[in-house]
């Protein structure tokens, strides 16, 4: 363990050289108990001391007010800070802008060695900032302080009265955040939190996409069912058209068969007529054969009779054909028949002899002729029916060809019609499947595919961000771990010279939002326990917090720091020990520290700048002590 002098030599700093913000002077005009005062500050430790009520804390309050600290505005009405009886007040800080640790000035846009920052207060409630006598916004002041690494709202930078106690009771999470802000680790936390926010947005998007995907899936299933019904209906409609085509050709084929049957019947009847004609001819030949044995008269009579009959036959034939424009042939036959009749009248006498045989043959011939005429009537009827059937066949063929190419089917028309009726029933049952179903199904299929792709992209993004969070958390844990290791070592060393033990502990280090900082301390040989408002005494709490604050000094970014009445509850020994460590630490850092104490100064180093404050008849006055 190092001795106190060794401890006071300081520890290596983790931060690079800072630009620096050093206050050369504070000018107070009508501020609280100050009518007018100029308070000079130097590098290193500046101690403001004096009795209670002298106006010591007003100095730190004035600095905080000029720097735009939110604490000063939350805790009181600013117009109440104006000296009683005055309408306005002013606090001005003369900032050192001379090049010190680098060839450039801290505030490069200002060419002078000093820059004045002022805060003006008025009783009417109007307040504003001035920078080099020009009115500026609070955001401009905040931006300027950020450039210089100063955060006046961090209690580890400016610690007002009772803030030692306030730090003690802060939740561990808040302690850690204040420490991170003081040492400049906020970007590491911000990186993790930004990644977590990004993850939260991605998870929210994933949830939205999944909900949309689920909704789209349900809607897609609905439209798919309707589209399947639509496609089934379309298949049924195609089948129905085929059945219509098959039915049309079945009717045409049936008509073809009818026409064929009629044609065959006609041919059969015509063949029968031919047979009758042959029989009739044969009868005639037989008559002729018998008549050859008769005398010439009878033969002549028969010939005349045959001629007459033939003429009558021809006349009947031609009369049947008269409608076809053959009237002149009929007339000619009528004439010939008349001539033949005259000759037959002459041969009538001869007919009696041949009557019996002729009658027999003539009866046979009459029967044949009757049969022939009957067949001719039948032929004419068949021909008429055939013409009608052929015409109908032509119509059916045209209709069938309109329906489509020829279908060879063995099914009956009844079978086809029965199946068509069943198909019509299916189509009617699917009538609710509108044509819109296909378009909607395609649209939601595309949407579902897009959502699936988006869900995949979101899942990939989620994995990338999880990995990013992991890397950033590891970086944050690494830097915070290294910081607390260094602070813990110095914290233990400082406590060891105060007859105490303790350590700094990071809790919930795997969860940055739940992560916290706990201080443990034990005095006079007691086992270290967590620092809180109930276990330790006021002096012990102040000593532990100051030990931690001093252990942290090498890592704090801000070149300016201040603390008010940290030692109120400390015993003289601890007050002196803490003071010595503070002077040594700040002296090795070359920065500016303002301490306000009501206690008696028992140890004064020549490097310490002492300012005393007194209140005489309601007016605070300031005096430097060399």
How does pLDDT run across 555-573, given as a tens digit for each residue? Answer: 888 888 898 887 777 777 8
Q: Could you tell me if 284 and 420 lie in one domain?
A: yes
Q: Could you tell me if 284 and 249 lie in one domain?
A: yes
Closest CA to 563 of 264, 196, 156: 156
Cα 255 from chain centre: 66
Cα separation, 253 vs 175, in Å, equals 101
pLDDT of residue 390: 93
Q: Pick from 429, 444, 471: which residue ends a domain? A: 429
Assigned domain for 24 exists: yes
CATH code (residue 262): 1.10.287
Q: What is the mean pLDDT of residues 162-186?
A: 89
Q: Could you tell me if 483 and 554 lie in one domain?
A: yes
CA angle, residues 157, 158, 159, in degrees to nearest 5: 115
Cα separation, 189 vs 272, in Å, equals 118
Assigned domain for 444 exists: no
Q: Could you tell me if 322 and 343 lie in one domain?
A: yes
Assigned domain for 310 exists: yes
CB half-sphere exposure, 338, CA atoms < 13 A: 5
For the chain, how many structural domains are there in total? Answer: 2
pLDDT of residue 11: 34
User: Which of the 8 DSSP states describes residue 287?
Assistant: H
CB half-sphere exposure, 355, CA atoms < 13 A: 7
pLDDT of residue 6: 41
570 phi and psi angles, rounded to 5 deg: -80, 150
pLDDT of residue 202: 92
Q: Could you tell me if 359 and 507 lie in one domain?
A: no
How does pLDDT run across 231-259, given as a tens digit for each residue? Answer: 999 899 999 999 999 899 999 999 999 99
How does pLDDT run across 436-468, given as a tens digit for each residue? Answer: 888 998 999 999 999 999 999 999 999 999 999
Q: Could you tell me if 231 and 330 lie in one domain?
A: yes
Closest CA to 489 of 546, 537, 548, 444: 548
Q: Could you tell me if 237 and 118 lie in one domain?
A: no
Cα separation, 574 vs 495, in Å, equals 10
Assigned domain for 446 exists: no
* Cβ-contact 55, 620 below 8 angstroms: yes
CA separation, residue 290 to residues 63, 284, 295, 305, 350 (Å): 168, 10, 11, 15, 16
* Cβ-contact 433, 229 below 8 angstroms: yes
Q: Could you tell me if 170 and 51 lie in one domain?
A: yes
* Cβ-contact 552, 488 below 8 angstroms: no
How does pLDDT run across 532-543, given as a tens digit for each residue? Answer: 888 888 888 888
Please report, rounded to a whole number, the percentage of residues in the chain having pLDDT higher than 90: 37
Assigned domain for 453 exists: no
* Cβ-contact 394, 232 below 8 angstroms: no
Answer whether residue 599 shows pLDDT above 70.
no
pLDDT band at 575, cuts 50/70/90?
confident
pLDDT of residue 262: 92
pLDDT of residue 137: 92
Cα separation, 604 vs 35, in Å, equals 30
CATH code (residue 94): 3.40.50.300
Q: Could you tell me if 168 and 222 lie in one domain?
A: no
Q: What is the mean pLDDT of the chain?
A: 84
Q: Which domain holds residue 284?
A: 197-429
How does pLDDT run across 1-23, given as a tens digit for each residue? Answer: 444 334 334 333 333 334 455 89
Contacts 24+ apart (CB under 8 A), 206-211: 206/455, 206/458, 206/459, 206/462, 209/451, 209/454, 209/455, 209/458, 210/455
Q: Could you tell me if 518 and 550 lie in one domain?
A: yes
342 phi and psi angles, rounded to 5 deg: -65, -40
Assigned domain for 447 exists: no
Cα separation, 205 vs 201, in Å, equals 6
Tokens 């009959």 sit on residue: 309
């Amino acid at each position: 363990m190092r001795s106190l002098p060794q401890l006071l030599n300081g520890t290596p700093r983790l931060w690079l050289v800072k630009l620096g913000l050093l206050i050369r002077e504070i000018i107070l005009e009508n501020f609280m108990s100050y009518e007018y005062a100029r308070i000079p500050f130097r590098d290193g430790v500046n101690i403001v001391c004096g009795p209670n009520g002298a106006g010591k804390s007003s100095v730190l309050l004035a600095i905080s007010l000029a720097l735009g600290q939110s604490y000063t505005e939350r805790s009181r009405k600013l117009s109440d800070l104006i000296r009683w009886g005055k309408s306005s007040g002013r606090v001005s800080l003369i900032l050192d802008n001379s090049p010190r640790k680098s060839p450039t000035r801290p505030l490069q846009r200002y060419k002078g060695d000093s820059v004045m920052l002022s805060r003006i207060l008025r009783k009417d409630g109007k307040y504003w900032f001035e920078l080099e006598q020009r009115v500026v916004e609070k955001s401009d002041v905040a931006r300027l302080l950020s450039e210089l690494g100063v955060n006046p709202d961090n209690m580890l930078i400016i610690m007002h009265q009772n803030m030692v106690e306030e730090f003690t009771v802060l939740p561990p999470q808040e302690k850690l955040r204040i420490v991170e802000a003081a040492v400049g680790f906020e970007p590491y936390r911000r990186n993790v939190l930004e990644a977590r926010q990004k993850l939260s947005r991605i998870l929210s998007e994933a949830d939205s996409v999944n909900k949309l995907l689920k909704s789209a899936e349900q809607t897609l299933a609905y439209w798919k069912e309707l589209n399947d019904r639509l496609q089934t209906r379309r298949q049924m409609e195609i089948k129905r058209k085929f059945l219509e085509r098959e039915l049309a050709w079945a009717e045409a084929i049936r008509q073809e068969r009818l026409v064929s049957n009629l044609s065959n019947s006609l041919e059969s009847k015509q063949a029968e007529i031919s047979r009758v004609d042959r029989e009739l001819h044969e009868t005639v030949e037989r008559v002729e054969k018998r008549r050859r044995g008769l005398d010439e008269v009878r033969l002549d009579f028969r010939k005349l009779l045959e001629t007459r009959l033939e003429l009558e036959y021809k006349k009947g034939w031609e009369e049947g054909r008269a409608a076809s424009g053959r009237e002149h042939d009929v007339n000619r036959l009528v004439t010939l028949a008349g001539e033949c009749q005259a000759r037959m009248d002459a041969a009538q006498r001869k007919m009696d002899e041949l009557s019996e045989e002729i009658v027999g043959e003539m009866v046979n011939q009459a029967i044949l002729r009757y049969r022939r005429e009957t067949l001719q009537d039948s032929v004419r009827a068949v021909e008429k029916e055939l013409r009608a059937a052929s015409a109908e066949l032509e119509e059916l063929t045209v209709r069938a060809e309109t329906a489509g190419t020829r279908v060879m089917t063995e099914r009956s028309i009844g079978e086809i019609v029965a199946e068509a009726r069943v198909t019509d029933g299916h189509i009617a049952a699917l009538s609710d499947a509108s044509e819109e179903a296909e378009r909607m199904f395609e649209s939601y299929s595309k949407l579902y595919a897009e959502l699936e792709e988006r869900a995949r992209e979101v899942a990939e993004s989620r994995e990338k961000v999880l990995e990013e969070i992991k890397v950033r958390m590891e970086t944050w844990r690494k830097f915070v771990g290294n910081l607390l290791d260094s602070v813990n070592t110095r914290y233990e060393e400082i406590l060891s010279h105060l007859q105490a033990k303790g350590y700094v502990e990071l809790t919930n280090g795997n969860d940055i939002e739940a992560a916290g900082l706990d201080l443990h301390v034990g005095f006079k040989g007691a086992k270290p326990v967590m620092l809180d408002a109930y276990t330790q005494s006021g002096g012990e709490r102040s000593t532990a917090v100051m030990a931690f604050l001093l252990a942290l000094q090498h890592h704090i970014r801000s070149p300016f720091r201040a603390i008010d009445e940290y030692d109120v509850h400390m015993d003289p020994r601890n007050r002196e020990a803490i003071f010595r460590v503070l002077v040594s630490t700040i002296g090795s850092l070359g920065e500016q520290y303002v301490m306000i104490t009501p206690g008696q100064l028992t140890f004064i180093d020549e490097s310490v700048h002492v300012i005393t404050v007194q209140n005489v008849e309601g007016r605070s006055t300031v005096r430097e002590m060399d």
